[in-house]
Amino acid sequence: MSQKFDVVVIGAGPGGYVAAIRAAQLGLNTACVEKWVNDQNQTVLGGTCLNVGCIPSKALLDSTHKFHMAHSEFKAHGIHTGDVSMDVPAMIKRKDQIVKNLTGGIAGLFKANGVTLLEGTGKVLANKQVEVSKKDGGTEVVDAENVIIAAGSVPVNIPPAPLTEGLILDNEGALEITETPKRLGVIGAGVIGLEMGSVWARLGSEVTVLEAMEEFLPFCDKDLAKDAQKTLKKQGLDIRLGARVTGTEVKGQEVTVKYTDAKGEQEIVVDKLIVAVGRRPYTEGLLAGDCGVQLDERGFISVDGQCRTSVPGVYAIGDVVRGPMLAHKASEEGIMVADIIHGHKAQMNYDCIPGIIYTHPELAWVGKTEQELKAEGVKIKVGKFPFAASGRAMASHDTEGFVKIIADEETDRILGCHIVGGQAGELIAQAVIAMEFGSSTEDLQLTVFAHPTVSEAIHEAALACDNHAIHVANRKKR
C-alpha cells in the first residue's frame, strides 16, 4: 500500500523546502522529494541556491571583496598590511563549509517540523500521485491530497560554447575554479556573469564579458545601469556589448572565443570561459503525459496568481513558473501555497519583489523603472541622493552610488526605488516595506532615520522628490 500525504513537495530548493516546512507547521502531513546528491552520494537539501548558486557565490564575493579592500583600500584608513595574497583553495574550502552548514541545517529543520524526506527524483502522475525514482534504481508511488512542484531551473547552454571540463564552465563549474586564471572570459552580462567576473577580477584576472544585447542591464533603471557599467569598467571588467558568440575552440589549456560585433568578426583567447546566459525551467521528466499539468509556450508551468496549475490540488512555484527567477520569490510563493492549502486566504504582491546584483557597489531595485513608467504615460517625480553626500558612507570610505525614488506626481505614492551602493541589498528592504504598505514619499519624509546611517540616503531621496533634500542641492523648480 502506497504512502499517503496531505502535501507532497517536489524539490527542496528555497521554494520547496520553505513550502514543506510551512505546510508541516500548519499540521499537514508533508513529504518533500529531493534528488540532489553530493560527492559522497548523499542527498542534500537547498537546491541550486544553497549548493551552487546564491550562497556559495556570495561567499566568494565576500572573500574577494575583503581581499580587494586589504589590497587596495585599507591604506585610505591608515592601515598598512604589506603584501597581501589570496589562498584560493582555502577560499573554496570556506565556501564549501558554509554550504554544508546550511544544507545540513535544512535537514535539521525537516526533522524538527516533521517533514518526511523522500530521496529520489519526483514525477507528477495522474490523480495527484507522485512517482519517486530512488538512487538505488527502485521506484515508489505516493498519493497526495496536494502537490507542490518546486523543481527549479537549470543553466541555459549554447551550441557555440559547449561545456568542456575545467575550461568552458557553467555557473556550477565557475564555483570550483581553484586558481586565479590569468584571462577569464564570461558570456553574458547578467547577474551571474557580473558577479563571477567581479570575483576573479578582484584577484587579478583579466576579465572580458561578452554580452549579445546592445544595452547593458536592460531590465534595470537606466541610471543604475549607467553607473554600474562605469564602475565595473573601472574595476577591470572589459564589458563588450552587442557581442554575439559564434564559436569556441579548445587548444590545450586555452579557449579561443569567436564573436561578432558592430566591427565584424572578433576573437579573444582565455584560460577559462564561463557561460552565464540565463536559466530555464527544469521540467524534463517531471510531468507524466496524462497528469494534466500544462506548460506555456516558453516551457514554464502555467499557473494563476496563486500558483494553481490546470489540475486542482496541484500547484507550482519558483523558477518553473512565470516571474523572476529569484530564491525569495520562490520562498514566498511556497508560504502562500501552503497557507492556501490549509484554507487560509493568502496572496503575494508581485509588484514588490526586490532584485539584487551583488557586485560592489551592489545594485538593488523594487517596483518600476523611470523608463517603464514614462512609457506607460504615468506622470512621475524623481528624487535622487548620492552616497557621496552621506556622512556615514564617507566615514566608511564607501561613497559610490545613489538612491533613486520614483513616485506618482499626483498621488505621491512610491512606485519604484533603485539603489546602487555598498549596502544596496540591505537598504532596498526599507523601500519594499514602504511600497508594500502603499507609502507615499511624504511618509518617508516624516519618518525619523537614525544618524549617521547610510539609510538616511533613502530619507533624503524621498525629500528630493519634492525638492526638499537637506544635504544635497535640489533641482531648480520648474
Q: Are 208 and 238 in contact (CB under 8 A)?
A: yes
pLDDT tens digits along 410-432: 999 999 999 999 999 999 999 99
Of 77, 344, 451, 468, the active-site residue reads 451
For residue 133, what are the CA distances in angstroms to 33, 35, 110, 127, 138?
Answer: 10, 9, 21, 18, 6
CATH topology identical between 4-155+280-348 and 168-277: yes
Q: Is 460:403 a contact under the CB 8 Å cutoff?
A: yes
pTM: 0.96
Task: Respond yes or no: is residue 418 known to be catalytic.
Answer: no
Q: How far apart are CA 294 and CA 302, in angstroms?
A: 6
Give me the residue spans of the domains in the chain: 4-155+280-348, 168-277, 354-464
On the CB side of 410, CA atoms within 13 Å amount to 3
DSSP SS3 for 296: coil
Phi and psi, residue 99, nearest 5°: -60, -45
Q: Are 292 and 311 in contact (CB under 8 A)?
A: yes
Q: Does domain 168-277 have CATH number 3.20.20.10?
A: no
Report which of 177, 165, 160 is spatially closest to residue 257, judged by C-alpha positions: 160
Q: Which three three-digit cell numbers place residue 173?
A: 563549474
The CATH architecture assigned to 354-464 reads 2-Layer Sandwich (3.30)
In terms of CATH architecture, what is 4-155+280-348? 3-Layer(bba) Sandwich (3.50)
How many Å apart are CA 293 and CA 55, to the nearest integer? Answer: 32
pLDDT tens series, the chain, 478 aa? 689 999 999 999 999 999 999 999 999 999 999 999 998 999 999 999 999 999 999 999 999 999 999 999 999 999 998 899 999 999 999 999 999 999 999 999 999 999 999 999 999 999 999 999 998 899 999 999 999 999 999 999 999 999 999 999 999 999 999 999 999 999 999 999 999 999 999 999 999 999 999 999 999 999 999 999 999 999 999 999 999 999 999 999 999 999 999 999 999 999 999 999 999 999 999 999 999 999 999 999 999 999 999 999 999 999 999 999 999 999 999 999 999 999 999 999 999 999 999 999 999 999 999 999 999 999 999 999 999 999 999 999 999 999 999 999 999 999 999 999 999 999 999 999 999 999 999 999 999 999 999 999 999 999 999 999 999 999 865 4
Give the C-alpha separation, 234 to 220, whole Å.
20
- Minimal CA–CA distance to 201: which of 185, 220, 213? 185
In the numeric block, the cell 587579478 is attached to: 204
List of E strands, 193-331: 206-211, 237-241, 244-251, 254-261, 264-270, 272-275, 279-281, 314-316
On whether the CB atoms of residues 154 and 320 are closer than 8 A, the answer is: no
Pick the closest to residue 317 from 19, 3, 105, 74 (CA basis): 19
Longest dimension (CA), the chain: 76
